[in-house]
């Protein structure tokens, strides 16, 4: 059984809960890590989540996204999730920002990083149906067509705000 640390809005651990409990109670804030993977042409790699997932099944989502397990550091989770989902082990992540994403199902404290990667991607078929690099202009054109997770839509809006502020 996967156990997640429950945190306050500052990321301080205040308890633990099983993943299936945290994913049914949006009052239980838990930590996740996201990595936005770009190539040298500025295209963003997205994953199409497996149709077997319990959250956002079959939808396009952030390049890498996953829970920070109980007792795990953000950096450990970042490396583990990137390797597990995309087979990427050699990359230089850059921290961007933290935010809270909440919906009727769950609440997450998200730590977002980005990296530039041009090597081979070997995605995990148990978690991902497909990966594709997207031109940012095209992505913004189709963002609200129903094929993207609500979390990714939130993430992309925050990323664009981040770019405008820097």
Domain range list for the chain: 3-165
pLDDT at 78: 96
Instruction: Say what the pTM is.
Output: 0.93
Which parts of the chain have pLDDT scores under 70? none
pLDDT at 122: 96
DSSP for 74-138, written as a single string: HHHHHHHHHHHHH---S---EEEEEEEEE-SS-EEEEEEEEEE--S-----TTTEEEEEEE-HHH
What is the C-alpha radius of gyration for the chain, rounded to an integer number of angstroms?
15
Count CB atoms within 10 A of the CB of residue 33. 26
Q: Which fold has domain 3-165?
A: Nucleoside Triphosphate Pyrophosphohydrolase (3.90.79)
pLDDT at 48: 96
Tens of pLDDT, residue by residue over 28-73, are 999 999 999 999 999 999 999 998 887 788 999 999 999 999 999 9
How far the first Cα of the chain sits from its last, in Å, is: 41
Count CB atoms within 10 A of the CB of residue 68. 25
pLDDT at 1: 81
């Amino acid at each position: 059984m996967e156990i997640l640390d429950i945190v306050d809005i500052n990321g301080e651990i205040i308890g633990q809960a099983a993943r299936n409990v945290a994913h049914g109670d949006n009052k239980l804030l838990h930590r996740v890590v996201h990595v936005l993977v770009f190539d040298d042409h500025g295209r963003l790699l997205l994953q199409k989540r497996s149709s077997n997932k319990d959250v956002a099944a079959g939808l396009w989502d952030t390049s890498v996204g996953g829970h920070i397990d109980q007792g795990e550091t953000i950096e450990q989770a970042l490396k583990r999730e990137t390797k597990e989902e995309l087979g990427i082990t050699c990359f230089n992540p850059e921290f961007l920002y933290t935010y809270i994403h909440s919906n009727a199902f769950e609440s997450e404290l998200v730590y977002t990083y980005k990296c530039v990667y041009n090597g081979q991607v070997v995605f995990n078929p148990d978690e991902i149906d497909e990966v594709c690099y997207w031109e940012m202009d095209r992505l913004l054109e189709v963002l609200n067509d129903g094929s993207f997770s609500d979390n990714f839509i939130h993430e992309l809006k925050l990323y664009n705000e981040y770019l405008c502020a820097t």
